[in-house]
């Protein structure tokens, strides 16, 4: 049901050979040569009568001019030779790179041995000094043996180098935890791996991705030497244009000159480390709460009822339309409606001054806005999914969350809100969290991203803030109805994303109404409906009759919060109609309260509502403890007695109506 309070190469040239140079002759050599030539001439004249043999010049056969086919063959051979040369060059380069890698490994091994050697020498020196001063050196040999064993262990235990392949690339390294250091304020990313990766260099590279991204881009934030267990740090840049509060962090390697993602991505899980406030929590041990009427806060009824918890709706259409209040967050300035915000100030101030613990339900009723999921815009639903699908949307949602957490931290004089419920019955896709039809996995991921943005933004302001998901009573209907998702399926997918991407302390706001809503008896619905509330996790409906199924399910190890505790449960909307008589309504409240009282995992209930709503009465849902005219119903006095010394007296008269002799018959202590 909808609660109502009435109201982002040059190749070098071949050297040419010079022709033979003529020998230079000196003047003396020239005269001698001339004389000899004259004698030779005279001799030649004397023998001129005899026949002289004729010298025939050598002739070489002329080569035929190459034709087109010959030229083509030569060209092909040239191309093949060039390709072989390039291949040889690349192979040689890879071979050199591999040798360099082996050299680095050898160098590291040498360093291990060198360090062990120094350890042995230092140990020997220390024991030698002991020998001088204490007269004994019997431990020296043990120390040398220990150093040697340490060396051998270091070499033996050294992790292997492993090549990155398609099979191991995505999860070669594991990002296990991302936290803000409470000492330095830096983001610390804890990483492990089973081996050392082979890549272009000796480093891992840290990247961050926006919440709407699934791949790395740009330049790395920082690099760190390869290891199998390490922590890398970077700046948070809180409340700036390049804030990383909503980013997820992953590791990459440089492979073939490109950054390749080789790990999972994980978000910051302790935003409260940045919080300026740690507001005290009101409500005490009381388990009684109401969806309050703002006009009745000062009437004295809350004090008379002993009501210590209140629910109130915050609509985006009211605070995000209009101006008057400017708020700058992450480098962007947003405007909020000053008048509407002042009305919320009044309600929350009045509740806080009465020691009432406030639960604000943030619901998006804007069909066309940046804050609304792009695929939901233009729909005709009651409420719409928030936008965490692009940068503009994430920035807007985060700004709204930060603004509200700051204003209602309890430190600004505008009242205090300790609990924030994100959306209303979000498993009801078509009416209360409208998106286009999609599978439960992407739908759960969208809601998980929304809850994470609200959580990180709000807890970074106030460390005691609690953030809740909102779910109705249709646990495991297994119907082929695409208008809603079974709570079990949605919660399983939601929890899986939260655990794999960074486990934060989200809690559950459950609506354990009767099925159908108009059934007046909490313990008996009649006909085919009674069999729908079973005691196993496969039950179709979870109401107050079997609410222990929910808390048992949340007690599983894979559902526990960061500290290993069961997530907190509040019954953030529930109620019983008086349309079939006020006595049945009162008995149903007593039945529900006694079951809740025995379950330690349930903090409190928020009964819907303080006064009947006319539109609901018309549908057979007169849920108020007051009628529409303000008159007190029978359930008013039962609510008032709950948790007081009068409880037994007032409650016990309804045992017979319920058909039991003792409350223990319906309680499943947890």
382 and 417 fall within a common domain: yes
Q: What is the pLDDT of residue 526?
A: 87
Q: What CA–CA distances, in Å, run from 334 to 5, 323, 387?
A: 26, 9, 16
What mean pLDDT is predicted for residues 430-443?
A: 97
83 found inside a domain: no
Return the minimum-mean-pLDDT range out of 48-52, 393-397, 642-646: 48-52
Report residue 527's pLDDT band, with 50, 70 and 90 as the boundaries: confident
Cα–Cα distance between 473 and 513 in angstroms, integer?
6
- The CATH number of whichever domain residue 237 belongs to comes to 2.60.40
pTM: 0.79
Q: Is the peptide bond before 69 cis (omega within 30 degrees of 0)?
A: no
Residues 189 and 262 occupy one common structural domain: yes
pLDDT at 655 over 90: yes
When mean pLDDT is compared across 146-150, 522-526, 563-567, the lowest value belongs to 146-150
Percent of the chain residues past pLDDT 70, beyond the cut: 77
Stretch 13-27: mean pLDDT: 38
Do residues 549 and 563 both lie within one domain? yes
Is the residue at 1 inside a domain? no
Residue 130 has pLDDT above 80, yes or no: no
Structural domain containing residue 455: 281-665
The per-residue pLDDT for 144 is 57
pLDDT at 28: 41
Tell me if 17 is assigned to some domain. Answer: no
pLDDT digits (tens, 9 = 90+) for 155-196: 566 789 999 999 999 999 999 999 999 999 999 999 999 999
80 within some domain: no
Please indicate, yes or no, whether residues 533 and 436 belong to a single structural domain of this protein: yes
Residues 566 and 488 placed together within one structural domain of the fold = yes
Position 197 scores a pLDDT of: 97
| Residue 114 confidence (pLDDT) above 70 | no
**338 and 384 co-located in one domain:** yes
Any domain includes 610 = yes
Residue-wise pLDDT tens digits, 625-646: 999 999 999 999 999 999 999 9
Pairing of strands 332-337, 324-329: antiparallel
pLDDT for 474 beyond 70: yes
- Average pLDDT rounded to a whole number, residues 419-429: 98
CATH number where 539 lies: 3.20.20.80
**Which pLDDT value is given to residue 480?**
86
**Count: domains in the chain:** 3
Same domain, 169 and 154: no
Query: d(Cα 133, Cα 471) in Å, to the nearest integer?
Result: 75
Q: What is the pLDDT of residue 661?
A: 97
Tell me the β-bridge partners of 142: none
Do both 564 and 501 map to the same domain? yes
How would you write 461-481 as a 3-class SS string?
Answer: CECCCEEEEEECCECCCCCCC
Residues 250 and 339 in one domain: no
Q: How far is CA 537 from CA 443, 532, 566, in A?
A: 22, 12, 17
Least confident of 17-21, 179-183, 289-293, 496-500: 17-21
Whether 174 and 145 share a structural domain: no
Q: Is residue 402 part of a domain?
A: yes
Model confidence at 55: pLDDT above 50: no
Q: What pLDDT score does 91 carry?
A: 52
Predicted local confidence at residue 254, as pLDDT? 98
pLDDT at 569 over 50: yes
> Does residue 597 share a domain with residue 460?
yes
- Tell me the HSE value of 92 on the side-chain side, using a 13 A CA sphere: 6
Q: Are residues 234 and 111 in the same domain?
A: no
Beta-strand relationship, 196-198 and 229-234: unpaired
- Domain assignment of residue 8, yes or no: no
Question: To the nearest whole number, what is the mean pLDDT of the chain?
Answer: 86
Distance CA 112, CA 135 (A): 33
Q: Give one DSSP letter per residue of 564-582, joined into a string.
A: SPPPPEEEEEE----TT-H
Q: How far is the C-alpha of 121 from the C-alpha of 115, rounded, in Å?
A: 10
Among 91-95, 293-297, 365-369, which is the least confidently predicted range?
91-95
Last-in-domain residue among 246, 268, 290? 268
pLDDT at res. 109: 52
Within 13 Å of residue 151, how many CA atoms lie on the same side as its CB?
A: 19
On the question of pLDDT at 564 being above 50, the answer is: yes
**Which residues make Cβ contacts (< 8 Å) with residue 18, sequence separation at least 6?**
none
% of the chain with per-residue pLDDT over 90: 74
More confident residue, 526 or 443: 443
Phi, psi of 191 (to 5 degrees): -130, 140
Separation between Cα atoms, residue 195 and residue 193, nearest integer Å: 6
pLDDT band at residue 42, thresholds of 50, 70 and 90? very low
Q: Is residue 545 part of a domain?
A: yes
| 263-319 pLDDT, tens digit each | 999 999 999 999 999 999 998 899 999 999 999 999 999 999 999 999 999 999 999
Confidence of residue 1 (pLDDT cuts 50, 70, 90): confident
Cα separation of 506 and 561, whole Å? 8
Final residue belonging to a domain, choices 237, 268, 299 = 268
Cα-based distances in Å from 262 to 102, 165, 191, 506, 640:
22, 10, 11, 29, 59
């Amino acid at each position: 049901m909808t609660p109502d309070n009435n109201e982002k190469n040059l190749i070098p040239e071949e050297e040419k050979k010079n022709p033979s140079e003529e020998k230079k002759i000196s003047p003396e050599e020239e005269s001698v040569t001339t004389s000899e030539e004259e004698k030779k001439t005279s001799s030649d004249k004397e023998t001129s009568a005899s026949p002289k043999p004729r010298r025939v010049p050598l002739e070489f056969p002329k080569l035929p001019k190459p034709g087109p086919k010959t030229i083509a063959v030569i060209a092909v051979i040239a191309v093949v030779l060039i390709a072989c040369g390039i291949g040889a060059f690349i192979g040689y380069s890879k071979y050199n790179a591999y040798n360099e890698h082996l050299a680095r490994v050898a160098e590291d091994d040498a360093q291990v041995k060198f360090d062990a050697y120094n350890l042995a020498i230092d140990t020997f020196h220390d024991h030698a000094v002991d020998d001088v001063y204490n007269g004994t050196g019997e431990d020296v040999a043990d120390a040398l043996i220990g150093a040697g064993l340490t060396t051998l262990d270091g070499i033996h235990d050294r992790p292997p180098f492993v090549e990155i392949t398609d099979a191991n690339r995505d999860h070669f390294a594991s990002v296990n935890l991302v936290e803000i250091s409470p000492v330095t304020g830096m983001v610390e990313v804890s990483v492990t791996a089973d081996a050392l990766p082979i890549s272009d260099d000796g480093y891992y590279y840290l990247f961050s991705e926006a919440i709407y991204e699934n791949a790395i881009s740009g330049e790395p934030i920082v690099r760190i030497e390869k290891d199998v267990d390490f922590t890398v740090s970077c700046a948070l840049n809180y409340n700036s244009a390049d804030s990383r509060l909503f980013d997820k962090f992953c590791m990459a390697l440089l492979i073939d000159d490109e950054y390749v993602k080789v790990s999972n991505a994980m978000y910051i899980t302790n935003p409260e480390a940045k919080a300026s406030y740690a507001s005290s929590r009101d409500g005490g041990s009381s388990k009684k709460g109401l969806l309050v009427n703002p006009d009745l806060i000062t009437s004295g009824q809350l004090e008379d009822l002993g009501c210590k918890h209140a629910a109130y709706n915050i609509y985006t259409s009211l605070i995000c339309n209009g101006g008057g209040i400017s708020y700058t967050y992450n480098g962007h300035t947003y405007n909020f409606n000053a008048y509407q915000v002042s009305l919320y100030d009044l309600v929350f101030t009045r509740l806080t001054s009465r020691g009432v613990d406030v639960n604000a339900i943030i619901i998006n009723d804007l069909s066309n806005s940046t804050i609304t999921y792009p695929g939901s815009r233009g729909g005709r639903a009651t409420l719409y999914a928030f936008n965490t699908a692009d940068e503009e949307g994430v920035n807007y949602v985060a700004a709204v969350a930060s603004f509200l957490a700051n204003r209602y931290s309890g430190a600004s004089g505008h009242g205090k809100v300790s609990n924030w419920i994100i959306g209303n019955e979000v498993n009801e896709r078509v009416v209360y969290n409208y998106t286009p039809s999609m599978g439960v996995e992407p739908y759960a991921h969208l809601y998980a991203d929304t809850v994470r943005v609200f959580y990180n933004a709000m807890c970074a302001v106030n460390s005691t803030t609690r953030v809740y998901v909102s779910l109705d009573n249709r646990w495991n209907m297994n119907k082929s109805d695409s208008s809603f998702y079974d709570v079990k399926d949605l919660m399983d997918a939601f929890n899986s994303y939260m655990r794999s991407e960074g486990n934060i302390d989200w809690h559950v706001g459950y609506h354990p109404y009767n099925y159908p809503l108009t059934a007046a008896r909490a313990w008996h619905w009649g006909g085919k409906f009674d069999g729908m509330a079973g005691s196993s996790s496969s039950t179709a409906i979870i109401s107050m009759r079997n609410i222990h199924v929910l808390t048992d399910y949340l007690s599983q190890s894979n559902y526990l919060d960061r500290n290993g505790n069961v997530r907190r449960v509040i019954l953030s909307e529930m109620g019983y109609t008086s349309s079939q008589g006020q006595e049945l309504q009162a008995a149903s409240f007593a039945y529900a309260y006694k079951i809740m009282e025995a379950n330690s995992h349930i903090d409190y209930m928020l009964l819907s509502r303080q006064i009947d709503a006319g539109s609901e009465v018309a549908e057979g849902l007169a849920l108020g403890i007051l009628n529409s005219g303000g008159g007190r119903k029978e359930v008013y006095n039962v609510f008032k007695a709950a948790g007081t010394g009068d409880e037994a007296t007032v409650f016990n008269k309804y045992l017979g109506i319920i058909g039991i002799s003792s409350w223990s018959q319906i309680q499943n202590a947890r």
